[in-house]
Structure formats: C-alpha cells, structure tokens
Amino acid sequence: MRYGGLVFALWIAFVPGVKAQGNLHFASLGDCRLESGQVIRNCRLGYRTVGKLNAAKSNAILWPTWFMGTTKDLLSFAGPGKLLNTSQYYVIFVDALGDGISSSPSNSTLQPRMSFPKFTIRDMVNAEHDLLVRELHITHVLAVMGVSMGGMQTFQWIVSYPTFMKEAVPIVGSPRLTSYDLLLWTAELHAIEEDPAWNHGNYTSQPKAGMDTAADIHTLALTTPQYRVEHTAPAQFPEFLKKSEEDTRRTHDANDWIRQLQAMIADDVSAPYGHSLQRAAARVRAQVLVIPSLQDHMVDPIPALNFARLIHARVFKLTSDCGHLAFSCELAGYTPVVQAFLAQ
C-alpha cells in the first residue's frame, strides 16, 4: 500500500532494487455496475504484467494494489531472486479502483470528483475478475495475493470467486474490519471532509489542513511506537513531519483517498451472508496462507487469524516492531515460505 509519499519512500527503502519491469496497460470494461446499483461509466483498470504465461495458463498470479498504491509500486516484488520469480510465474499487478490510475474521482471525465460513485472492496474484485476474463482471457489463476488493502481484496476473492484460484496469500489484510480499524479510517475521512478547503470535493488545490491531518494519522498507525521512537529522533521530527505531509499532498488526490477509505470502511466478506464469517468461510475452496503482523496498528490481525482458523489456512506470523510495515521489514523471512507454498 502506498499510504502517502513518505510511506512509499519507507517501503522502497525496505525493498531494494526497484526497477520498472512491466509497462502500464489499460483495460476498458465499459460500465462497471456496483453492488450499490450505481455504475462507473467507461470503467478502466490499469495493469502491468511480468513473466510469461505458460501454454496451459496455469502459472498466473494476480496481485491487486494496496491503499492509494499503484502497480508501479509493486514491481519490486517480482523478478529474478524476488518473492515471485518471473521465470516461473506470470504476475498480473492490477490498479484497484480509485487509485488515480484506474477509474477514480481524480481522472473520470464523466463522473469527476464526488460524483464518482462509492465502491467497495467487492466492487474492486468484480472489476478485476472482468479484467482477467474479458481482457486477458484467463479463467483460472494459480494464486491471488496482496498486501493490506490488497490483502482485503485477496480475502474477498476467495469468497466471491472460490474456484477461480488454487491458492491465496493475504498479507497484513483482513476479511472485515474491527472497531479499532474503523476508528482509524474514519478519523482520516473526517480530517479531510471537515476541512473547509475540501469544499465537498470541489477544491482548486489539495486541501492542505485535511490532507496533512490524514497523513499524520496514517503515519502514526503505520508502525509501532517503539519503531518510531527508534527511527525518528525528536530533533528530526519537524523535517520528518513536513516531508510526510508534503509528499502525501503532492502524490495523492483527496477525493481518491476518500473513496478508497470508504471502500475499506465497508470491508466485510461476510456481508452477503448475514455477516456470518462461518458462512463466508464455507465458500472458500482455495488453499490459503495468511500472513498477519501481530503488532499491526493499521489493520488489526485478529479477524485474519480468526478467518484462518475457520478455513484451516496456514499462518505465518510477522512479529517485528515495524507494525504494518512488517511485510517489508520481514520480507526475507517469509519469502521462502511463500515460495514453498506456491510451489506445492
């Protein structure tokens, strides 16, 4: 997930060797009908592919983006010697709805700004399914995987399309949010909406006060207190804060931020099943490896652990004080675990 410019910089620092490997492509899906009944008109999804699809079409891996991240941010996870070896796998990175690349409030000409309809994690997954089937002519994948909001989409994939994949790897994601998660995301939402400069989405420049406060809240929850104390001395704090806020305003659109926040706030794979996780879990057919961060202050690990028990998933626990960023800090530790899981 690219939770602001500073966050992106932190992740890149943890994952060396970032190079552009796959070109950006767009799939035109026509009108995407949402579960609310509304429609995203002229819906487009951005995507990048690396590696080669084999003749049997049995080596494809889908990886959707994290919150406010783009497919360009994900390229470092695939390649020779990386988490996903592109000599073995055909990796499809997909820009989730609302990230500023795929159809979003910031780039829609027919539904600009807040006229762009609210969408859900389930809507993201449905659009990605259309991309695979209609654009890439892929009707089954080896695996679906993703980080944070990408992990939320992964949980949704195994419930919405249970036979579409053999395996799934949700990393620091959740099948539904806890009240703690809802408090975090709602605080960010309120910070933007309560800024008069936001003007119901009709701003002439990024609403500074709202976006700065959202960035502050986000950065606070991204790691643990111990991590921040150890990595930012009080004397460095003003520069640290300034860079975080400026990078967020420069790289992200406030309306895009809001729509993806709202999608996560509504995240619940059990919603169509009377909010019963047991009923949602009964739909799962894939083999699943769940990777939570036990010190995660951004996406509480408890729902993922509970769902893992319900579906008899394998679990690999991240434990560092990096918090939500443990997926990057501990990448070397879980890489062989994921590689062995995918190769089974």
Task: Please report, as a single letter, which amino acid is at residue 5.
Answer: G
Alpha-carbon span 168 to 162, nearest angstrom: 10
Q: What DSSP letter does each residue of 136-200 carry, written as one string?
A: S----EEEEEEETHHHHHHHHHHHHSTTSEEEEEEES--SB--HHHHHHHHHHHHHHHT-GGGGG
* Average pLDDT of the segment spanning 136-145: 97
What pLDDT shows up at residue 10? 44
- Residue intervals of the chain classified under CATH 3.40.50.1820 are 14-175+272-343
**pLDDT tens digits, residue range 292-328?**
999 999 999 999 999 999 999 999 999 999 999 999 9
Mean pLDDT of the chain: 94
- Residue intervals of the chain classified under CATH 1.10.1740.110 are 181-260
Give whole-number Cα distances, 315 to 156, 161, 170, 247, 293, in Å: 18, 21, 10, 35, 11
Fold of 181-260: Rna Polymerase Sigma Factor; Chain: A (1.10.1740)
Percent of the chain with pLDDT over 90: 93
Quick check: 12 pLDDT over 90? no
Cβ proximity of 259 and 104 under 8 Å: yes
What pLDDT shows up at residue 16? 39
Alpha-carbon span 309 to 306, nearest angstrom: 5
What pLDDT shows up at residue 11? 44
Scanning the structure block, which residue is given the tokens 């943890």?
14
Query: For the domain with range 14-175+272-343, which CATH number is right: 3.40.50.1820, 3.30.300.30, 1.10.8.50, 1.10.640.10?
Result: 3.40.50.1820
Quick check: 159 pLDDT over 80? yes
The pTM of this model reads 0.93
Of residues 41, 106, 114, 42, the one with CA closest to residue 70? 106
Scanning the structure block, which residue is given the tokens 């500073």?
6
**pLDDT tens digits, residue range 235-245?**
999 999 999 99
DSSP letter at 118? P
**pLDDT band at residue 6 using 50, 70 and 90 as cut-offs:** very low
What pLDDT shows up at residue 21? 52
* Average pLDDT of the segment spanning 78-95: 96
Handedness of CA 222, 224, 227, 231 (dihedral sign): positive
